[in-house]
Amino acid sequence: MVLIKKLIETDLDSEGGFILEDLKFFVHSANPVGKENIQLLSIPI
């Protein structure tokens, strides 16, 4: 969760120029609630 928040913060600081628009990733977690939280956090606004 710390990593995804840092990536989002860095992207916001660079006015959307840090994370590529076509970035694809998979969330692997034994914790279904944590997995859902990470997925929801990473949905583009």
The tens digit of pLDDT for each residue in 1-45 reads 788 889 889 999 999 889 888 888 888 889 999 999 888 887 765
**pLDDT value for 4:** 81
pLDDT, position 19: 86
The token duo for 14 is 């660079």
> CA 44: distance to chain centroid?
9
Tokens representing 10 are 């860095």
Distance CA 7, CA 32 (A): 22
Residue 10's pLDDT is: 94
Predicted TM-score (pTM) above 0.85: no
End-to-end CA distance of the chain: 18
Cα 9 to Cα 13: distance, rounded to the nearest angstrom = 6
Alpha-carbon gap, residue 30 to 11, rounded angstroms = 28
- How many structural domains does the chain have? 1
Domain that holds residue 34: 2-41
